[in-house]
Structures are given as structure tokens and as C-alpha cells.
Amino acid sequence: MKQMTLKNFAPDAPFIAVEAAPRPLGANDVRIAIHAASINPLDTKQRSGAYASIANDQAVLGADVAGVITEVGAAVTGFAIGDRVYGCAGGLTGRDGAYATEMAADFRLIAHAPQSLTLREAAALPLVAITAWESLVDRARIKPGDLVLVHGAAGGVGHIGVQLARTMGAIVHTTVSSEAKADIARNLGADLAINYRTQTVADYVAQATGGRGYDVVFDTIGGDNIQPSIEAVGDNGDVVTIVSGGASADLSNLMPHNASLHVVFMLVPMLRNRDLERHGDILTRLARLVDGGRLKPLIDPARFTLDDLAAAHDHLTSGKAIGKVVIDTA
């Protein structure tokens, strides 16, 4: 099989194509003929060396995968050869990466792909959709009528967050940097798109919420953006961030609002090798939403193959990508 491997970790480290023998399946593994993979900031950070310690031994990256099962392990249940599947299942310590033509994956980390999507479309969903689910459903526990602010609505996690909040009956506002991204946010179902370049937090909280603040603020950007997220939350509200590394913030606005701050890191089950079935269950629920017409992936129009991996990474880190960047492998 073909794998794209790294010999060193750096922002411009080259991907090298190698022919490798498939590893033997474990009892809980399925072998997947990969049709598509997608790129996440996790992958670009691993390549740069920031997360090198959690890369697999072969330095084959790629968490998100969609493809067809060609072999099943002895303890696998619920899946058979020929099934179309998707998942966030690899690229970390002890797990095959999806930057390849096939991989072995623990069956508890995958689910049957949505019937209404191509495998290319399905590959765009797993990491970002699981992250949005854990943030909004598990942590913030959004209720119908909640006023929700999503930062980064045109990004990978953000575009799923907008749609997921809408399916839960929330009123969804987003922050954007341009009118083009405002159009994207509205097309995804946002009730209001706020240009953060022209309005301060105090301004849009006053105008959009009547000064009461948001029930839930979902920060998918991180860094300095954690501060305006905290400033926008209302009484008994929740701030959820998924990018907290290196961030610092004044938390004093949380106490007078009796608000909570949550940090979500969806890779923990894979890194700790426990509760893996939780991710498979979430993906099954998400597939139902997709097939019910309530959720769809936003995919950047640029096309890449395994041989274009470096260019695909550069496209994502340029900040010009809209939605998810997908790699075609078949």
C-alpha cells in the first residue's frame, strides 16, 4: 500500500511516498480501502512538530478517513466487508494514518457513512463534527431557544457548530471577517452574522442580545479570541473553546455572570485508548442528521491528491480555505 510519511517534523517538511506492507489486523480492527481523507489543524501542527510526540511510529498523519471495509478482525461487530464507513480513527500514537491508500482502524472509532454523501464528502466530517457535538451537546447542553454565538462559522468546526445548534432549536449568531463569509454563515442557517472587524464585543452584545449576553459562546478560533468569548457570555451561560493552547485570558467576567468555561479536546479517547465507542456513537447520530437533511459538510473547492499533500497543508494554513480541505485517495 502507498503511505505518505514524514522523515522529520517542520512546517515545510516534505511528505515522502513509500510502499509499505499492511500491518496485521488486531481483533478490534477493520481494514479500510481509503477513498478520501481530510486535513485538520491537528495534522498541520503535527507536521510542524508541535504535536510530534503523539504522531504514530511511521509518521503517517491523517485522522479523518472515509472508505470501504475490505477485512474485519475477529472481535468486530456491526460491520462487514463492503461497508462504507467514516471516522476520526488514525494518525496518532499506535494508530495508522489516513494519508495512505489503506489503513487499519479500531471499529469502535468509525460508523457507517451517511447514505446521502459521497465518501469524499463524508471524509470532511469526523473530527470537526465530533468536536462540535462534544462542545454543544455534551458540554453546553444547548436547549431550544438558547441564544448561541459561534466564532469562525466558515471554518471546519464552526460550520458544523452553526448547523448543529440550529438542529437543537437554538438562535444562532456568528462572527465573521467579511461579507462573503457572512453569506456562508447565513446559508448554513445562522440568524445573524456579525462583522467583528467593524463592531466591538460590547457593541454587538448590546445590539444583538439587548445587553444580556449569550447563553452559549462557541470559540473555534482560540488564541486571543478566548477573551471576547468570555466578554460575550451572559448570566448562567457557557463558553466552550477548542483551541486553548498558549491562550491567556481574564476570567473575571465569568463570576458576575455565574458562567462556566469548558475546554474540549476530542482526541482524549484515542490517546488514552478508552471510551472509543463514544466517537462511533456520535458519528452514527451525526449520519442520521446528515441523511435527514439537517447537516451538511462545507468543502473547500480546491482538489488535492496524496501527491499534493504539502500544497493541501499550505492551503489550509494560508487561512484562505473555506470549510474542510479534502484529499482524494481513490
Residue 142's nearest CA partner among 171, 116, 117 is 171
Residue 297 has pLDDT above 70, yes or no: yes
Choose between 177 and 120: higher pLDDT: 120
Share of the chain above pLDDT 70, in %: 98
pLDDT tens track for 251-282: 898 999 999 999 999 999 999 999 999 999 99
Q: How far apart are CA 314 and CA 330, in angstroms?
A: 22
Which SS3 state, helix, strand or coil, does residue 223 take?
Answer: helix
Residue-level pLDDT at 245 = 66
Can you give the pTM of this predicted structure? Answer: 0.95
Residue 224 has pLDDT above 90, yes or no: no
Residue-level pLDDT at 299 = 97
| Average pLDDT for 123-131 | 98
Q: Report DSSP letters for 252-284, one per residue.
A: GGTGGGT-EEEE--TTHHHHHT-STHHHHHHHH
Q: What's the CATH number of domain 2-125+269-328, 3.90.180.10, 3.40.50.720, 3.40.430.10, 3.30.70.20?
A: 3.90.180.10
φ, ψ dihedrals at 195, nearest 5°:
-85, 110
Task: Tell me the fold of 128-263.
Answer: Rossmann fold (3.40.50)
- For residue 196, what are the β-bridge partners? none
The mean pLDDT value of the chain amounts to 95
Residue-level pLDDT at 232 = 97
Question: What count of residues does the chain have?
Answer: 330
| Average pLDDT for 118-141 | 98
Residue-level pLDDT at 59 = 84
Residue-level pLDDT at 53 = 74
- Which residues does 33 contact at the CB level (< 8 Å), separation at least 6? 67, 68, 69, 70, 101, 102, 330
Residue-level pLDDT at 246 = 63
Per domain, the residue ranges of the chain are 2-125+269-328, 128-263
Residue-level pLDDT at 55 = 72
pLDDT band at 26; cut points 50, 70, 90: very high
Residue 57 has pLDDT above 70, yes or no: no
pLDDT tens track for 229-239: 999 999 999 99
